[in-house]
Amino acid sequence: MKKTSSTGLLIISVVFLLFLGVVTFFMRDLIFGGVVATYEEAMPNHKAYNDQWISYEVVASLGLYAEETESYAFIPTGHEYYYMIWMKDGTVMPMIVSKKADKDYLESLTNATYDYLDGKTKAIEVPPREFIGTVKSQKSDAEKYYKEGLDYLKISEKEGWKISHVVLDCTDSRGGTIAMVSVLLLLPIGCIALAIVNIKKERRKSANPQDEFLPK
């Protein structure tokens, strides 16, 4: 019974390791690659930059337009915050963050942006900051709220605004992705090592069955 259990563990671990290896190969640019382009470069043909890191220096924010709570078994596990970013060339773009520090920065930047627009300050007094993420089309619900936010602010292409619907998703980090993959790879490797040790022990017992009766 033990032999079957150890052999089964070895087979499952090897299969899982091979599966992770294949996934890692196809996602190698996202896991190990650096920034390949800026948002301005990726935006016109964003599908060509799937699973690659994209950067953008945020200089102004027009505010939060949606918030999503992630949960597991009805227990909240994280939040995603969707912001309308006012780009250097006047284009409005959507961006998603999940870290509290990122949200706090964008809230401060939003306040500073409206202080500038209202004439309270001569410039946006919160310094620019670079964000790194991936580009993709928005989910339908998020796109709906994005359009509602634009309508609320009276931002439209008819009014001369340039609007991007390609979202910069900054909810994942390169370091976090590498750490997660490393942990996932170590798990089956550890199971393989454990299975090999158990199989060797079982073989020694089978070769010397009298050892079962020795004092322990």
* For the chain, domain boundaries: 2-27+177-210, 35-172
Q: For 148-180, write each residue's pLDDT tens digit.
A: 999 999 999 999 999 999 999 999 755 555 555
* Pair 65, 82: CB distance under 8 Å: yes
202 vs 50: which has the higher pLDDT: 50
188, two tokens:
């089956």
* Statement: residue 135 has pLDDT above 90: yes
The pTM of the full predicted model, rounded to 2 decimals, is 0.68
Q: Long-range contact list for 34-41, CB < 8 A, 24+ apart?
A: 34/174, 35/132, 39/87, 39/93, 39/135, 39/168, 40/87, 40/89
The first and second tokens of residue 100, run together, are 């509290």
**Closest C-alpha to 110, from 118, 51, 74, 174:** 118
